[in-house]
């Protein structure tokens, strides 16, 4: 036994598997097949539906062309808003949402080993199961990297770059070859870290060797560093470069904060659903929910601080390249969405969830987690969709099909991973302390 690890009698793994795994296997199969069908229907409608434009939602120019005039003139000459643009913007919005759950879960797992946390051992398996979705998310990125680049990012058009001095100045970074290389690096980092932590944790369920825990702790400082860099530049590339004239040095932190809030809310909601089904009532007790609630509250306040700081600094500087982002999001009905984010993502959680009692109230936990997941959906929609629906919010069937289709695939893989292993790390050397954890 390695120094620093307590000795305890390992729990029986068979008691901690989900029941009816054969039925769950069928459910995951139907989810994945159904998700693929929904995505194909949305794709077919976008490419073969016969619609030339997306219902007159814009003038055919990119958002900002009417605001800044010549700034977007070159891009407007080469890009026409179409059903294909709508599809790929919806696809990107959905993709970064589900990727955020996986990225936030990866951060949570790495953080627990970095801090050598004891209380979180029994709540680690759900985010670890999310880590198993990274191969799916890498595959889901392929449509963006193949068919979607020219429809999403106007800096990919040589004609636009040739007439735009700003794009010419950024062409050393914003070019297709370098974008593909960076994307490969991000996915290697995310998948590599996820595999290391997921495989070591689940292997320990079988062998009980504390070397697995020691190995994950050893890797965690470097893992934290490369995770931070990959997450930051992933957010820059896939979201900020939608408007390449606009920039924010804290955009990576904005995406990271939302990803952590979303992942914590998702995993807490999963535990609450499992509790309703009779699982982990003792292993994940009110003390664990209290700590999860504290993390949710803290990171949501952090997201609010970053969102306000980004707006305040851009408003104060009043530089056209910066203000365009927010001007586009107060046009038409986007203003109501902006106000909804302020109220639903900041004010309500702050008022309802600040007290200790609220964090120990499971009904309140259930409400807050659903609220924040919905707010995260709205936030990513608000980030991506004004670049195609710049006159206001226009939710269409393609939005529903793509989001639900990708969600069905994601949940299918997640449930399959969750059913393959015990719901808690049954042979983790810190498990006993986690089971007896109490807040002070």
Mean pLDDT of 190-201: 96
The whole-number pLDDT of residue 309 equals 95
The whole-number pLDDT of residue 8 equals 56
Q: What is the pLDDT of residues 120-160, one digit of tens each?
A: 999 999 999 999 999 999 999 999 999 999 999 999 999 99
C-alpha angle 211-213-217 in degrees, rounded to nearest 5: 115
d(CA 416, CA 24): 7
| 57 pLDDT more than 70 | no
Mean pLDDT of 225-236: 98
What Cα–Cα distance (Å) separates residue 423 from each residue in 239, 263, 275, 281? 35, 17, 12, 12
Asked whether the beta carbons of 286 and 357 are under 8 A apart, the reply is: no
Query: Rounded mean pLDDT of the chain?
Result: 89
Give the residue from 294, 270, 426 showing the smallest Cα distance to 354: 294
| 69 pLDDT more than 50 | no
| 45 pLDDT more than 80 | yes
In terms of Cβ atoms closer than 10 Å to its own Cβ (0-12, 13-18, 19+), residue 396 is: middle
The whole-number pLDDT of residue 49 equals 65
The whole-number pLDDT of residue 410 equals 98
What Cα–Cα distance (Å) separates residue 335 from each residue in 60, 327, 378? 22, 9, 13
Interaxial angle between packed helices 251-276 and 211-238, expressed in degrees from 0 to 180 and rounded to the nearest 10: 130
Of residues 78 and 80, the one with the higher pLDDT is 80
Helix (H) or strand (E) segment spanning residue 358 = helix 356-359
| 54 pLDDT more than 80 | no
Give the residue from 271, 364, 260 showing the smallest Cα distance to 306: 260
| 288 pLDDT more than 80 | yes
The contacts of residue 140 (CB under 8 Å, 6+ apart) are 95, 98, 406, 409
Of residues 264 and 49, the one with the higher pLDDT is 264
Of residues 108 and 46, the one with the higher pLDDT is 108
Band of residue 331 on the pLDDT scale cut at 50, 70, 90: confident
The whole-number pLDDT of residue 15 equals 83
Of residues 6 and 405, the one with the higher pLDDT is 405
| 62 pLDDT more than 90 | no
The whole-number pLDDT of residue 121 equals 96
Band of residue 61 on the pLDDT scale cut at 50, 70, 90: very low
């Amino acid at each position: 036994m390695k120094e620093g690890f307590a000795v305890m009698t390992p729990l029986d793994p068979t008691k901690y598997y989900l029941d009816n795994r054969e039925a769950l296997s069928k459910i995951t199969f139907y989810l994945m097949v159904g998700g693929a069908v929904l995505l194909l229907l949305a794709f077919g409608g976008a490419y073969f539906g016969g619609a030339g434009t997306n219902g007159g939602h814009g003038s055919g120019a990119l958002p900002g062309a009417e605001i800044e005039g010549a700034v977007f003139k070159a891009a407007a000459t080469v890009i026409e808003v179409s059903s294909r643009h709508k599809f790929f913007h919806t696809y990107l919005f959905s993709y970064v949402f589900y990727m955020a759950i996986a990225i936030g879960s990866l951060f949570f797992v790495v953080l627990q080993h970095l801090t050598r946390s004891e209380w979180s051992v029994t709540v680690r398996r759900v985010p670890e199961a999310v880590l198993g979705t990274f191969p799916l998310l890498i595959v889901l990125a392929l449509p963006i990297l193949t068919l979607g680049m020219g429809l999403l990012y106007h800096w990919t058009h040589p004609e636009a770059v040739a007439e735009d001095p700003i794009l010419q100045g950024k062409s050393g970074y914003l070019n297709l070859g370098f974008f593909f290389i960076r994307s490969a690096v991000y996915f290697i980092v995310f998948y590599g870290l996820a595999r290391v932590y997921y495989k070591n944790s689940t292997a320990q369920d079988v062998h009980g060797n504390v070397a697995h825990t020691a190995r994950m702790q050893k890797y965690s400082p470097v893992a934290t560093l490369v995770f931070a860099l990959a997450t930051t530049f992933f957010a820059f590339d896939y979201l900020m470069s939608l408007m390449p004239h606009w920039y924010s040095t804290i955009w990576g932190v904005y995406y990271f904060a939302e990803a952590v809030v979303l992942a914590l809310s998702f995993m807490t909601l999963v535990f609450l659903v499992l509790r309703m089904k009779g699982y982990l009532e003792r292993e994940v007790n009110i003390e664990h929910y209290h700590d999860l609630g504290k993390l949710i509250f803290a990171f949501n306040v952090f997201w609010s601080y970053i969102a306000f700081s980004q707006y305040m600094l851009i408003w104060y500087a009043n530089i056209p390249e910066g203000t365009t982002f927010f001007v586009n999001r107060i046009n038409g009905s986007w203003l109501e969405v902006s106000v909804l984010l302020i109220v639903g993502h900041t004010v309500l959680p702050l008022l309802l969830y600040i007290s200790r009692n609220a964090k120990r109230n499971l009904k309140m936990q259930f409400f807050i987690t659903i609220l924040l997941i919905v707010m995260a959906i709205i936030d990513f929609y608000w980030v991506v969709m004004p670049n195609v629906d710049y006159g206001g919010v226009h939710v269409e069937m393609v939005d529903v099909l793509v989001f639900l289709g990708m969600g069905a695939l994601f949940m299918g893989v997640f449930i399959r991973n969750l059913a393959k292993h015990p719901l808690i790390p049954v042979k983790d050397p810190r498990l006993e302390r986690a089971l007896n954890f109490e807040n002070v």
